[in-house]
Structure formats: structure tokens, C-alpha cells
Amino acid sequence: MGDGIPLIEKTGTEDWTAFRKNLSVPDEATGFRLMIALSEASGTFFIDDLAAKVISV
């Protein structure tokens, strides 16, 4: 994949919301990396549940 696909973009101060997104990983992939970063941000960022699972299409 390697395209730096944004999973979610938020600005300002917002209440907590659940977020979910399905991503396609190529069949020949042996693994993947998920990078979580804050760009030009201050404050606190909480992640309380992060999961990866196979979903049949």
C-alpha cells in the first residue's frame, strides 16, 4: 500500500467518537504497519481499542 492513506482527519476540539474503517491489504502481503501520528497538534490523543481482523468480502 505505502501511499500514506489517511484513516481519519480531525480538526479543532471534538467530543470522543468511535471510528471504524476497512482497508484492503493485498493477498500477497505478509504483514502491515499502522502508524498513528499527530501533525502540528497539541493536546491529548487517546486510543482505547485498536484491532485488525480478516473480513470476508
Please state, in angstroms and as integers, the Cα–Cα distance from residue 36 to each residue in 7, 16, 57, following that order.
9, 17, 26
Give the model confidence (pLDDT) of 1-57 as tens digits: 556 677 777 777 777 777 887 777 788 888 877 777 777 777 777 777 777 777 776
CB 29 within 8 A of CB 23: no
* Structural domain boundaries enclosing 4: 1-57
In eight-state DSSP terms, residue 27 is T
What is the pLDDT at residue 57?
A: 61
What is the pLDDT at residue 20?
A: 80
What is the Cα–Cα distance from 9 to 26, expressed in whole angstroms? 24
What is the pLDDT at residue 19?
A: 80
Kindly report whether the global pTM for this prediction surpasses the value 0.75. Answer: no
What is the pLDDT at residue 35?
A: 76
What is the Cα–Cα distance from 19 to 10, expressed in whole angstroms? 11
What is the residue type of 26? P
What is the pLDDT at residue 2?
A: 57
Count how many domains the chain has: 1
